[in-house]
Amino acid sequence: MEGFLKERIKEGVRALYNADIGDDLIQLQETRKDFKGDFTLIVFPLLRFSKNTPEKTGETLGEYLKTSCSQISGFNVIKGFLNLEISEKWWISYFRELAKDENLLGRCRVSDPGTILVEYSSPNTNKPLHLGHIRNNLLGFSLFRILQACGHNVIKTNIVNDRGIHICKSMLAWQKFGNGETPESSGMKGDHLVGKYYVLFEKMYKFQAEELMAKGVEPGEAKNNAPLIREAREMLVKWESGDKEVMDLWHMMNSWVYEGFDKTYKALGVDFDKIYYESETYKIGREIVLSSLENNVLYRNEDSSIWVDLTAEGLDQKLLLRSDGTAVYMTQDLGTAVLRHKEYNFDKCLYVVGNEQNYHFQVLKAVLKKMGYSWADGLYHFSYGMVELPEGKMKSREGTVVDADDLIIEMKETAREVSLQLGKLSDYTDEEKEEIFRKIGLGALKYFILKVDPRKNMTFNPAESIDFNGNTGPFIQYTYARILSVFRKGEQMGVKYEPSQLSDLKGGEKEVDLVKLLRRFTDIVKESAQSYSPALVANYCYDLAKEYNQFYHDFSILSEKDAGIRNFRLALSKVTSDILHTGMWLLGIEMPERM
């Protein structure tokens, strides 16, 4: 409709003012809810042609459009805004085409798709996944589906931080205090077991530093020279030199972690096309750094460390290789970026990483550009806010994080309690009930996180997320299940929805209002892809579910005597259920058929 209106507006300006205008002067948008109309034209850019007031220009153009276009049933002018009302006949005609479309996402394809890498998860192998990782994974996976729906070639990638001083901390603690403990002997998931020793290291390291301070050592020196941290640094040097004992320990403990990660990813419903490992890509990064040093892009400090000077770019000087030759995070990110572009020749690479790393990614792009990689302009830091609990921030070192596995189990159990209270699953088998509880619990978790603007910090409250009323995943799932129950009941009554019924549709203002909301789905998905915001899709699904529930409450569907009206309401129900299902799928949320 927007394209049609733009052409008619051009015709109107030509007929009324003898002027030809381009699309850039036609500012058309959906009419705000508090005004009557469907589309609003901003009149001010046309005043140079009308030589008249905004109000008079709007009135004249509105009258021309209403007279010459049967699709426009009315208009009103408020200051410099022309609100156009589209006829009920057009909306019903549009809905017929929408209802026939078996590929809703086909309407979302953009004209210029590209190759986009989305990096998400990025775990460390010294601890299990936690609530912060859940937000990261859900955002990344949803971005993948939304971008893919718009026609882009999207590659899901993960970079595992499997080297560095933090990894050595877990390894050293296990070596000193583990007594040969394994996932099998302890009954713990491997990632949880390794995380246990990371927390133990920090506890013992803190104790040693405090002992030194009690003897009069300055705090900074005490933290730097505590025996455990010195041993961890020595282990890192041995690791980078390929020491067999250290490498064997590293391989063993990492294998425990990877097995644990895989179970969590499966439970969460996310996956990857390619997994990179820092233990491999840092080598590429180091070679790039050494090569750039030879080309005088970088400089070597007096202690033999290698740096880049970015002061001309408005940044600072950044360490790329330590004095002992070991790599830093930036080193591996350089190597990973170069390797990925070589493998996929991407147009864009989205890093789904928390906002505490904003500066890091500014530096990454600047360093790559300084090294001559022009494609670095395609790197984009999808900077999202932190997720906290009502009690406050989580701290991995102190073991006060919300474990991802525990949270998934808790959400399923909460869904079980709420669902059993509603008492609508009595004729389901235990296995079927468990599957419904899983879908509701995960749906609540995913929706609560994804409905928030990703750039904002958020507080996750499990009790609020599982409410069957309000802006929650279970509310949308329940609406979907309610619509399916309408069709099941219809079959029992002998009232069946058939696509052939679309030729006989009759409705009123409420039906048309629902059509208008259904029409927005395509635009919402495109906007969500363009702005990298799954929250737009999430909140649209809620708005649609809320509007349908009001419609369901106000009007009878199956008992409606007028066949044309009944057919319209059934068709509206069918398309609403399809769009809810598709929209929630884009968020990685499954929809139970009964609740």
How many C-beta atoms surround the C-beta of residue 485 within 10 A?
Answer: 14
Q: How many CB atoms lie within 10 A of CB 382?
A: 22
Domain layout of the chain by residue ranges: 2-86, 120-388, 404-586
Domains 2-86 and 120-388 share a fold: no
Collect all residues with Cβ–Cβ distance below 8 Å to 383 and sequence separation of at least 6. Answer: 353, 354, 355, 357, 358, 361, 455
Q: Helix 358-370 vs helix 329-344: angle between axes, to the nearest 10 degrees?
A: 60
What's the sign of the alpha-carbon dihedral 245, 249, 250, 252? Answer: positive
| Pairing state between β 299-300 and 306-309 | antiparallel
Specify the pLDDT at position 396: 44
Helix (H, G, I), strand (E, B) or coil at 166: helix
Assess contact for 163 and 278: CB atoms under 8 A: yes
Give the model's pLDDT for residue 397. Answer: 45
Q: What is the pLDDT along the chain (595 residues), one digit of tens a residue?
A: 888 899 999 999 999 999 999 888 898 888 988 888 989 999 999 998 999 999 999 999 999 999 999 899 899 999 889 999 998 888 888 888 898 888 888 889 998 999 999 999 999 999 899 998 999 999 999 999 999 999 999 999 999 999 889 999 999 999 999 999 999 999 999 999 999 999 999 999 999 999 999 999 999 999 999 999 999 999 998 998 899 999 999 999 999 999 999 999 999 999 999 999 999 999 999 999 999 998 889 999 999 999 999 999 999 999 999 888 888 889 999 999 999 999 999 999 999 999 999 999 999 999 999 999 999 999 999 999 988 877 655 444 444 568 899 999 989 988 888 877 776 777 888 898 999 999 999 999 999 999 999 999 998 887 778 777 889 999 999 999 999 999 999 988 888 777 766 777 777 778 888 999 999 999 999 999 999 999 999 999 999 999 999 999 988 888 888 888 888 899 999 999 999 999 999 999 999 998 7
Q: Which residues contact 298 (CB under 8 A, 6 or more apart)?
A: 289, 292, 306, 307, 308, 320
The model carries a pTM of 0.88
Kindly report the number of other CB atoms within 10 A of residue 416's CB atom: 18
User: Looking at the domain that runs over 120-388, which CATH code has it been given?
Assistant: 3.40.50.620
Which residues on neighbouring strands pair with residue 318, listed in sequence order? 308
Strand pairing partners for 83? 40, 76
The CATH architecture to which 2-86 belongs is: 2-Layer Sandwich (3.30)
Burial class of 297 by CB neighbour count within 10 A (0 to 12, 13 to 18, 19+): middle
Question: Hey, which CATH number is domain 404-586, 1.20.1250.20, 3.90.1150.10, 1.10.10.10, 1.10.730.10?
Answer: 1.10.730.10
| Contacting residues for 511 by C-beta, under 8 A, at least 6 apart | 551, 565, 568, 569, 572
Return d(Cα 585, Cα 324) in angstroms, integer.
Answer: 49
Nearest CA to 122 out of 163, 158, 164 is that of: 158
Instruction: Give the count of alpha carbons within 13 A of 399, CB side only.
Output: 12
Helix H or strand E segment including 467: none
pLDDT score for 400: 54
With contact defined as beta carbons under 8 Å apart, do 212 and 225 qualify?
yes
**Residue 391 confidence (pLDDT):** 65
